[in-house]
Amino acid sequence: MNGLPPDMPANPLPFWPPAASAYAHALDRLVVSFSALIIALALPVFVLIFVFAIRYRRGRKVNRTAKERGDLWIEIGWSVIPFVLTLYFFVQASVLYAQQTRPPANALRIDVVGKQWMWKFQHPEGQGEIDDLHVPAGEPVMLNMASQDVIHSFYVPALRLKRDVVPGRYTRMWFIADQPGVYPIECSQFCGMNHPRMRGSLHVMSAADYGRWLQVSQVEQTLADQGAATYRKAGCSGCHDHGAVMRAPSLAGLAGQTVPLEGGQTVVADAQYLRDSILQPGREVVAGYPALMPSYQGSLDEGQVQTLVAYLQSLATKTPEVPR
């Protein structure tokens, strides 16, 4: 255990990783029970090959009269029975996986940017971290992840979870870590030269400790406030604000709404749509507006775009300003 922080929970088993969540324990149970099945399927093969090789080896006097041909029922039996047994675990594993695709609505959202070769985290209250991520124990946490460059994969072995972080799209991952401690974060998708250095630590803290940490690391602006500043600095307000010279759609109350597009389609203005509209505005143009907006690709990085998205989402409850 050399080199690990002192508050790392001692790992009693050198061949089994620590588990930081109920999900991790559920997955371990699935793995152990499924391993029992595959050992049950494999063991007869191993034992019989060995037994046959000894018992029927050439030169040994033993009864060798056997049926010449295969038997249909035997073939069906060893095709179907293992398959059906496996399906039971298939259902369990698929249900666990499906749970992981649906974060609860009340989850604490933390924005993550992967870039060569670091992890950047932005908390809703505005705290930013590099390679260290502090989260409260017992509460659902949802990571909204973007990549600045190549594909990375955010992996926390103690949670038994990973998700690729793909340029051009937001991917999500959520968890409830219930065991306070420090756990490794790794990049599991090869991302270039310093891939093995792209590691961090997940600090799971009790509610009280987490509250203290938020206090200590408090910053002046929340993530949405930082987004508002970016909004003005990047010149978004010049077109999108009420009374602006250029006529661009109002952004208040937009997040989460269904937006009609040029060409008759509609799209839900989720985080992905908001991001794409900033970086590739020509792709999905709102009906009734000319496609005038320039791309901010190159001038805003994924972290800044995440602040803008947080800002726009903070406006979700406002009533839209009707232009003109």
Partner 1 sequence: MTDAVAHTPEEAHKGKDTAEERVSYLRAGHSLASWLTTTDHKRIAILYLIAITGFFFIGGSAAALMRFELISPHGMLLSNEGYSRAFTMHGVIMVWFFLIPSIPNTFGNFLIPLMIGAKDLAFPRLNLLSWYIYIIGGCFTLYALVGGGVDTGWTFYTPLSSLFANGHVVALVTAVFVAGFSSILTGLNFIVTIHTLRAPGMKWSRLPIFVWSHYATSLILVLATPVLAITLVLLAAERLFGIGIFNPALGGDPILFQHLFWFYSHPAVYIMVLPAMGVVSELVCAAARKRIFGYAFVAGASMAIAGVGFLVWGHHMFVAGESALAATIFSFLSLVVAVPSAVKVYNWTATLYKGDILLDPPFLFAMGFIGLFTVGGLTGLMLAMLAIDVHVHDTYFVVAHFHYIMVGGTVSAFFGALHYWWPKITGRMYSLTWGRIDAALIFFGFNLTFFPQFILGYLGMPRRYHVYDPSLQVWHVMSSAGASILAVGYILPFIYLYAALRSAKPAGPNPWGATGLEWTTASPPPKHNFDHPVQVTHEAYDYENAPQPGEHR
Residues 86-125, interacting with partner 1 (CB under 8 A): 86-87, 89-90, 92-94, 96-98, 100-101, 116
DSSP state of 300: B
Sign for the CA dihedral angle at 311, 313, 315, 320 comes to: positive
- Name the segment binding partner 1 (CB under 8 A); options: 82-90, 124-132, 204-212, 225-233: 82-90
- Name the segment binding partner 1 (CB under 8 A); options: 75-83, 125-133, 136-144, 237-245: 75-83
Is there binding between residue 66 and partner 1 (CB under 8 A)? yes
Q: Which of residues 165-184 bind partner 1 (CB under 8 A)?
A: 166-169, 171, 184
Give Cβ neighbours of residue 312 (< 8 Å, ≥ 6 apart).
227, 251, 254, 255, 274
Q: Which of residues 290-319 bind partner 1 (CB under 8 A)?
A: 297
Peptide bond into 16 cis (omega under 30): no
The residue among 153 and 226 lying less far from partner 1, judged by its C-beta, is: 153
From residue 262 to residue 281, the character string flagging contacts with partner 1 as x (rule: CB under 8 A) and all else as - is -----------------xx-
Residue 286 near residue 261 (C-beta atoms within 8 A): yes
Neighbours of 155 (CB within 10 A): 19
Is there binding between residue 83 and partner 1 (CB under 8 A)? yes
Shortest distance in whole angstroms from residue 20 CB to partner 1:
12
Residue 137 near residue 209 (C-beta atoms within 8 A): no
Q: Quick one: which of 1, 10, 105, 216 contacts partner 1 (CB under 8 A)?
A: 1
Q: Quick one: which of 122, 144, 153, 230 contacts partner 1 (CB under 8 A)?
A: 153
Cα-only R_g, the chain: 27
From residue 218 to residue 257, the character string flagging contacts with partner 1 as x (rule: CB under 8 A) and all else as - is ----------------------------------------
What does the alpha-carbon distance between residue 75 and residue 84 come to, in Å, rounded to a whole number? 15
| Size of interface with partner 1, in residues (CB under 8 A) | 88
The residue among 73 and 220 lying less far from partner 1, judged by its C-beta, is: 73
Instruction: Give the relative orientation of helices 223-233 and 302-314 as an angle to the nearest 10 degrees.
Output: 110
> What token pair was written down for 311?
């800002």
Q: Quick one: which of 6, 12, 70, 263 contacts partner 1 (CB under 8 A)?
A: 70
Q: Quick one: which of 5, 7, 49, 266 contacts partner 1 (CB under 8 A)?
A: 49
The residue among 70 and 243 lying less far from partner 1, judged by its C-beta, is: 70
From residue 186 to residue 225, the character string flagging contacts with partner 1 as x (rule: CB under 8 A) and all else as - is xxxxxxxxxxxx----------------------------
Instruction: Give the relative orientation of helices 22-55 and 72-100 as an angle to the nearest 10 degrees.
Output: 160
DSSP state of 321: P
Sign for the CA dihedral angle at 213, 215, 217, 221 comes to: positive
- Name the segment binding partner 1 (CB under 8 A); options: 45-53, 262-270, 299-307, 310-318: 45-53
Shortest distance in whole angstroms from residue 88 CB to partner 1:
11
What does the alpha-carbon distance between residue 30 and residue 36 come to, in Å, rounded to a whole number? 10
Cross-strand bridge partners of residue 117: none
What Cα–Cα distance (Å) separates residue 102 from each residue in 95, 107, 162?
11, 11, 15
